Structure 1
Amino acid sequence: MIDGLAAASIICALVVGAACLVQTWRDRPVGVGLLAGTGAVELVLLAQVVGAVVEISRGQHAGQPAVFVLYLIGSVAALPAGVWWSLGERTRWGSAVLGVACVAAAIIVVRLGQVWESTGG
């Protein structure tokens, strides 16, 4: 795991998630700005996946490899699922769904780091 990318993905996901929740409070559906922010978060998450693959190829490993791989997949799958759902729900609740997906992505990255660190990787 690359700590800088993990921190960046957590911070970006929480910032976009907060913006989504503000849109929910303002009774607005998901707009282009939130989708662009979500896309930026997804790019950082994909960079984290690439970084994790590089670290694994260098011989480092997590204590529970299957769990680590599932968290990697979940980290990049949460946001597209949230975007898909939020675009289907063109009310304020679409913004809420995307906000929850962003917070979930941040939590998954935190857990990913915990699984990685469990072996001193």
Structure 2
Amino acid sequence: MLVALTIAVTVAALALAAWCALAAYRDQPTKDWHFIGMAVVSVLALVQLVVGIVQVARGEKAHDGSVIFFAYLLGAALSVPVAGFMSLTERSRWGSVVVAGGGVVLAVLEVRLHAIWGG
């Protein structure tokens, strides 16, 4: 797994979490610019999903097994979009809290992905 990509996704996810937590602190729902941030983080996670698939297809192996690796990759790719969808249904400060939580979840999944790959 590319360490630089994992770090980039983690930093972007934590920045999104902090940004949405600040919006929740200010009693604001998620706005359009939050969704742009979610899109950037989601694209990074999708790039990581593709890179992970390509690396396993080339014969590289995850330390803890490919099935668990792909499960974590898929969860990482879906965590922010699911949180964004949930924030659309809750148009209050709690929508921002949900997205902040999704960013933290993605960061934790990235740490675990690094450990599963053998880092």
TM range (shorter): over 0.9
User: Using the alignment, how far apart are the partners of 2:110 and 2:91 within structure 1?
Assistant: 28
Name the residue aligned to 2:104. Answer: 103
Query: Matches of 2:95 and 2:105 in 1, distance apart?
Result: 15
Superposed, which structure 2 residues align to 1:2-21 within 5 Å? 2-21=2-21
The equivalent residue for 1:79 is 80
Computed over aligned residues only, the root mean square deviation of the Cα atoms, in angstroms, reads 0.9
Structure 1 length-normalised TM:
0.94
CA deviations 1:29-79 (Å, max 9, x no partner) are 000111100100000111111111121122111122211111011001111
Q: What is residue 52 of structure 1 aligned with on the other side?
A: 52
What is the Cα deviation at residue 84 of structure 1? 0.9
1:93 aligns with 2:81: no
Aligned to 1:113: 114
Structure 1's unaligned 5+ residue stretches are none
Bigger mean CA deviation after superposition, 91-100 or 62-71: 62-71
Q: Whole-Å Cα distance in 2 between the matches of residues 32 and 58 of structure 1? A: 39
Identity %: 33
* Displaced runs of 4 or more, over 6 A: none
Distance (whole Å) between structure 2 residues aligned to residue 11 and residue 114 of structure 1? 17
